[in-house]
Amino acid sequence: MQDLSVTILQQDLAWQDAPANRAQFACLLPAAAGSALVVLLPEMFATGFTMEPAGCAEGMDGPTVGWLREQAALHGCAIAGSLAIAEGGAFRNRFLFARPDAGLEHYDKRHLFRMAGEHHGYVPGSERRVIEWQGWRLCPQVCYDLRFPVWSRNRGDYDALLYVANWPARRREHWRALLVARAIENQAWVIGVNRTGVDGEGIEYAGDSLVIDPWGRLALDAGSAAGVHRVTLAAQTLAQCREKFPAHLDADAFRLDGAPD
């Protein structure tokens, strides 16, 4: 298992304007990709956190999914983020992981943010996913999922948690604390990618994209400004944490029953 080079694109987003957001990220990707094996974009990176999916959501054969695949192939790395997706007569907040070989994997956000009415406009996912990439097992999650540790509990099946988010500045302390908690309790690398700026609903975002190592130590703090940030997830740090402090061997057994309401 080799180290994993990751680039985070912490940016402001044009409100409900997918062409503008694709253009913005396309300009950043040539320099951002570089030697990166994974490039991560925020939640709903094409539109912002919209509760109007009927006017903004795209199909899996839509322009933004096609763009993701094209950019991954062009730059020779995986590119991931979430989109509002229309499928089967419903809308989903879907994390997409585009591989450079045109492969595409996805995870549908399970915990929908009821305080914004997300549960009225979108359908929740029911299946946790683990994506294997470059010898790493990556568990994708989306924003509000961060508050539910049972859903993200490491069962020995992943090495890193990937959170993409539109997490408001007024709850930034929760974001930062919970990311550290998820890393410590799961003995895994944790990456949280957030946006900056103010969205079309007047909600402010502070960035605060973070990378936390399995010991709970801060490996990257992107601050509040828009930017491109690179970090390397060290395989040795992961192995040493699990070997020297094998708390996972004393974890309680459990299972998840049923699908979300």
d(CA 223, CA 123): 32
* Residue 136 domain flag: yes
Question: Residue 222 is part of a domain; what is its CATH number?
Answer: 3.60.110.10
| 8 A C-beta contact, residue 143 and residue 166 | yes
Q: What is the pTM of this model?
A: 0.96
The one catalytic residue among 43, 58, 105, 118 = 43
* Residue 257 domain flag: no
* Residue 233 domain flag: yes
β-strand partners of 83: 94
d(CA 239, CA 197): 37
- So what's the pLDDT on residue 259? 52
Give the angle 141-166-56 at the CA atoms, nearest 5°. 95
* Residue 163 domain flag: yes
CB atoms within 10 A of CB 14: 19
* Residue 255 domain flag: no
- So what's the pLDDT on residue 241? 97
Confirm whether 244 is a catalytic residue.
Answer: no
| 8 A C-beta contact, residue 64 and residue 93 | no
The one catalytic residue among 58, 77, 105, 109 = 109
Confirm whether 43 is a catalytic residue.
Answer: yes
* Residue 256 domain flag: no
Confirm whether 109 is a catalytic residue.
Answer: yes
* Residue 259 domain flag: no
d(CA 100, CA 235): 22
Domain that holds residue 177: 4-250
Number of domains in the chain: 1
Tens digit of each residue's pLDDT, the chain (261 residues) = 999 999 999 999 999 999 999 999 999 999 998 889 999 999 999 999 999 999 999 999 999 999 999 999 999 999 999 999 999 999 999 999 999 999 999 999 999 999 999 999 999 999 999 999 999 999 999 999 999 999 999 999 999 999 999 999 999 999 999 999 999 999 999 999 999 999 999 999 999 999 999 999 999 999 999 999 999 999 999 999 999 999 988 888 888 776 555
The one catalytic residue among 56, 139, 143, 241 = 143
* Residue 261 domain flag: no
Q: CA quadruple 7, 72, 104, 205: dihedral positive or negative? A: positive
Q: Return the residue matching tokens 């097992």.
A: 137
- So what's the pLDDT on residue 7? 98
